[in-house]
Amino acid sequence: MPLKWKFVPCLFLLFTLQSALTAQTKKPDRIEITGSVRNDNGYRPRLKMPAFSENGPVILLDEGHQNAPFNEGFARLAAADGYQVRRSQSKFDTNLLREANILVVLEPGVTGVEKSPSPAFTEEEATAVHDWIAGGGALLFTLNGFAAGPHSILSKLGVEFNPGAVVDAGALGAFGPPGSVNFVFSGEQFLLASHKIILGRSAAEQVKKVVMGVGSMTIIQTKPEGAASLLHCSENAQFYPDWRQARAVAKSNGASSVHAGGPVRAPYAPIGIAFALGEGRIVVLGDARITSATVFRSGGEYEGLRQGDNQQFTLNVMHWLSRLME
């Protein structure tokens, strides 16, 4: 599995960055994404008090469904907090899932995105995961806006999203090195302050700022009734569909064409949700890089777990899924 991915320039990204961002700000009039993303091998979480001293819950970390190879930071953080991390390249079935307390699926369906998308999961897998959660399992599922094709697991759970990325001028953070843009989600405008995942178990664990990278953040289009929107956009958000995938999906469904319109308004659209299913719990995030530790560009700009309160947010998600928080 490659540890370093090159960004492929595409009209979608260039239009999003150069038109949407610069039209809404006074920042430089041209922004280009070039370079590469790789795992942040220097990331070493140091926790004052791990949640589990021994025999922590078992995390099944999925690596068998066309996942992006950026899960090392999450694995280190979970292990540092006392979880038992077991990696899997197998299809999901009852026998595999019964050995785990929490299933973690980071950025599935990404490899081969330039080709015609194919489902990352089978219907049998989706049913197995649904039933396992309903019986008391827990799932963390993180998306990538350029994931190839629909995900039957999410559909089975009542969650839908469209390929593409969201631009939110209301959350636009500071420009760093040339080509660097972040979205900063802070305060009640963006965070559900009443949820345990945001509050933490103490004031020291409270999440005050979540930072996301441009180009990877997508919105959750449909969520189950009663699902809490942990992170959500401002009223200014706009969604830019990835028309490469939309055309490919339409073609695979027998349609001759698909209309490539402009961006659509997405006010207050959710980026992260949490909800219960039967006896189990689920968190779905529309930006996988919150829970990853990566280095972007040859200049060494850190993303993910080193930024804002992303590390604490990820820990709080796991604590809620493992029922340290009720």
**pLDDT tens digits for 38-56?**
889 999 998 999 999 989 9
Give a yes or no: residue 326 inside a domain: no
Q: pLDDT at position 246, please? A: 57
Q: What is the pLDDT of residues 154-185, one digit of tens each?
A: 999 999 887 778 888 888 765 444 445 678 89
The SS3 call for residue 229 is: strand
**Mean pLDDT computed over 269-293:** 95
Residue 86 in domain: yes
Domain assignment present for 117: yes
Closest CA to 110 of 74, 147, 138, 76: 147
Assigned domain for 244 exists: yes
What pLDDT is stored for residue 146 in this prediction? 66
Q: Is 284 within a domain?
A: yes
Percent above pLDDT 90 for the chain? 51
Whether 206 is covered by a domain: the verdict is: yes
- Which residues, 6+ apart, have CB-to-CB distance to 255 below 8 Å? none
Which pLDDT score, from 0 to 100, does residue 189 have?
A: 87
Q: Residue 259: which CATH number?
A: 3.40.50.880
Residue 13 has pLDDT above 50, yes or no: no
Q: Which residues of 244-272 are buried (b: 16+ CB within 10 A; e: fewer)?
A: bbbebbeeeeeeeeeeeeebeebeebbbb
Min mean pLDDT across 65-79, 171-185, 282-296 is at: 171-185
Distances in Å between the alpha carbon of 293 and those of 128, 163, 261, 307, 322? 30, 23, 34, 9, 22
User: If you average pLDDT over residues 130-139, what whole number do you get?
Assistant: 98
What percentage of the chain carries pLDDT values higher than 70?
74
Of 17-21, 184-188, 277-281, the poorest mean pLDDT is in: 17-21
pLDDT class of 140 with cuts at 50, 70, 90:
very high
The whole-number pLDDT of residue 217 equals: 80
Res 10 pLDDT > 60: no
253 is in which domain, residue-wise? 4-321
Residue type, 127: T
How many Å apart are CA 136 and CA 57, to the nearest integer?
Answer: 13
Could you give the 3-state DSSP secondary structure of residue 65?
coil
Using CA atoms, how far apart are residues 152 and 158, in angstroms rounded to an integer? Answer: 10
Once rounded to an integer, what is the mean pLDDT over residues 54-74?
93
pLDDT on residue 208? 96
Looking at this protein, which amino acid is placed at residue 97? Answer: L
pLDDT in tens, 313-322: 999 999 999 9
pLDDT of 253 reads 58
Mean pLDDT to the nearest integer, 109-121: 65
Quote the number of domains for the chain: 1
pTM of the predicted protein model: 0.86
Q: What is the model's pLDDT at position 50?
A: 96
Q: In the predicted model, what is the mean pLDDT of the chain?
A: 81
Residue 79 domain-assigned? yes
Segment 52-64 shows an average pLDDT of 95
Q: State the average pLDDT over residues 68-88.
A: 96
> Is there a domain that residue 250 lies in?
yes
Could you say which DSSP state residue 20 is in?
Answer: I
| 22 or 120, higher pLDDT | 120
* Total count of residues recorded for the chain: 326
- Using CB atoms within 10 A of its CB, is residue 78 exposed (0-12), middle (13-18) or buried (19+)? buried
